[in-house]
Each structure stands twice: as structure tokens, then as C-alpha cells.
Amino acid sequence: MQIPVVRNVLEANEKMAAHVRRTLSDKGILTLNLISSPGAGKTTLLERSLRALAGEFRMAVVEGDLQTDNDARRVAATGAQAVQINTDGGCHLDSNMVLTALESLDLDGVDILFIENVGNLVCPVEFDCGEDAKVALLSVTEGDDKPEKYPLLFNLAKAMVLNKVDLLPYVDFDLARARRFAAKLNEGIEIFEVSCRDGQGLEGWYDWLRRMRAAKKAA
């Protein structure tokens, strides 16, 4: 009896996600869904990106978390539009939550919408939020076998950001191994080794955002 219920939930979400995707695509907005474990650095990556690209793009953020509006406040401090979704214990965002959140944003003229999902490598992957692409974020403090342990995310993501590389001298993390696992699952995945703390490697990530935005605009 449970399998049909789960299937119905996912099918309903997919229908709503298609509606969200049409709504955003009609406005020419590139939408990226950032997924990672808690503490991997999603919000810091957003802060860096929003400030660095403020002169090129108009950007907005949908923040997902169990409680508090801490991350939304951090993002809003960069000057970008931000809206917070509190899931009250829910382990992921879904397309209906995102659709509701969009009502609080002025989408006219927005170039890039970031969805910062709830910190979790499993549930958020299952629920399409209407994004153009998923971005997997992995910090070197987590272990280099995460792509192997959580394959669906890395199989579906268009990019993987390996964060906190400034800590490599202090942790047992094999960059080549992590890259190899991810590429085995998804040979087209683009991988960026960065430190959101000191800015190392972020220009490659910014260039990817520029290319993704240009492709969306040309579509």
C-alpha cells in the first residue's frame, strides 16, 4: 500500500515542478538547486557568488532550512533578494514550497535564481524543485567517498563544487579519488575545487555560472 502513495507524492511534485520550470523559463531565469550536507558551505558559496557577480547579473535566492532565517539574512546582506522557507523538520524542499516562495520575490529582470536546499544528500535529490540544474557541494572535511555513498546526487548534478580545499593539509581527503568517483557516475559533471574562505578556485565556478546563464538566455 505504501508504494502507490510514494509514487503519487513524487508524481504530484513532478507536475508542480514542471509548472515552476515553465514559469521561470518564460522569464528567462536560470535556476540552480544547491544540494549538500549541513555545513558544507552552500551559504558561504552563495555569499561569495552574489557579491562577485552583482555587477553582471540580478540574482535571487530561495533559502531552505528546518528553522530560523539565519541564512536568508546572510544572503540578503549581499543585496540580493532572498526568501526563507522553514520546513519545520522536513528534510527537503519541494516544488510547491518553491512556487509559494516565488510569490515573495520580484522575478522581473532576475537572471539567476538559486535554491539552497535543506542540508541533506538524500531527500532533496528525489524532489524536483523546477530547477535547470542541480549543483552538488562537497567539503573536504566530509570524506572523499561521498559520491560513491550517495550516487544519485552526483549522477544527476551538472556540477560538483569541492569546497574547503584550504583545509586539505589537515584532513585525510583524496581529491583525485573524489573526482574519480564523481566522473564514474557522471562523465559530464564539471568539478570545481574551491575555498569559499580564501577565494581559491572560485573564478572557475563564476565562469560556469556565466556559461550556464548565457546558454539559458540563448535557449
CATH number at residue 88: 3.40.50.300
Radius of gyration of the chain (CA): 17
Report the number of distinct structural domains present in the chain.
Answer: 1
Alpha helices (H) along 53-174: 70-76, 95-102, 123-126, 146-149, 151-156
- Is 177:145 a contact under the CB 8 Å cutoff? yes
Q: What is the mean pLDDT of the chain?
A: 95
pLDDT digits (tens, 9 = 90+) for 2-32: 545 556 778 899 999 999 999 999 999 999 9
pLDDT, one tens digit per residue, over 69-118 is: 999 999 999 999 999 999 988 999 999 999 999 999 999 999 999 999 99
132: containing domain: 2-218
